[in-house]
A = this chain, B = another copy of it.
Amino acid sequence: MPNSSEEIVINKPRRRSRIREAHENTILRAAEQLFSQNGYHGTALETIAEKAGMSKQNLIYYFSSKELLYQRVLRNILDILIEKMTLMDQLGDSPREILTNYIKSKIEISRHYPNASKVFAIEIINGAPYLKKYLQTHLTPALDDDVKLVEKWIAEGVMDRVDPYHLFFMIWSSTQTYADFSSQVSLSLGKEKLEDNDFDRATEFLTHLVIKGLGMK
């Protein structure tokens, strides 16, 4: 009677209750923000629990260890960042449109998910201990495809002959800087906080620079 035992297994998922779902999300959001401000070691479980409105022990009930919680935060972040990470995913009829949309997408991520971007950045700076494998299996192949696409454009005479890899490094860094280094940027601009306006100007500048700098159109 293997069926009866299967039934039990099928019934189990009921356990993922609404409460659990909700609390896990609250915790993850609190953790993301605190990790982005103080790093992994600089953030105490107690502090996360406080921000999430519960006791530390209760937090541990939902995430059995700090490291596990951190990895979950990282995975959530990757889901966000990866989605529009590749050129291929961009809409557009011409190379120029595709590149423009790519830059816009990446600025949008900095605008809307600054904390996620920061946690990711710290992780990379520290040598990507948790991410190395993921980057190797997921991101690097996608990048290589994008590079091939750019090389095709170059071969077709659509744009100047430049090193595609460094083009991507430039786009990544100069779009992420509006999230990761927002404190320096806003200080330089003499504002408390970056406004929509600033992101728009950034997009405009970068688009101009890339399109014209690559000799497109």
Residues of B within 8 A of A95 (CB): none
How many A residues have CB within 8 A of the partner chain? 58
Query: Do residues B173 and A177 form an inter-chain contact, with CB atoms below 8 A?
Result: yes
How close is A18's CB to chain B, nearest CB, in angstroms?
Answer: 35
CB distance from A123 to the nearest CB of B (A): 9
A177 touches B169 (CB 8 A): yes
Chain B residues with CB under 8 Å of A57's CB are none
A213 touches B202 (CB 8 A): no
* A169 CB → nearest B CB, Å: 6
The reply to whether A128 and B183 form a contact with Cβ atoms under 8 Å apart is: yes
Quick check: B135 and A187 within 8 Å, CB to CB? yes
The secondary-structure label for the interface of chain A is helix
Among A170, A172, A178, A204: residue with most chain B CB under 10 A: A170
Q: A116-172: which have CB < 8 Å to B?
A: 118, 121-122, 124-128, 132, 135-136, 139-140, 143, 160, 162-163, 165-170, 172
Identify 15 new A-B residue pairs, CB closer than 8 A, beyond the known A173-B176, A173-B181.
A118-B125, A122-B122, A124-B181, A135-B184, A139-B188, A160-B212, A163-B201, A163-B205, A167-B209, A169-B185, A170-B174, A170-B205, A211-B213, A212-B212, A212-B213
Name A's B-contacting residues (CB within 8 A): 36-42, 118, 121-122, 124-128, 132, 135-136, 139-140, 143, 160, 162-163, 165-170, 172-174, 176-178, 180-181, 183-185, 187-190, 201-202, 204-206, 208-215
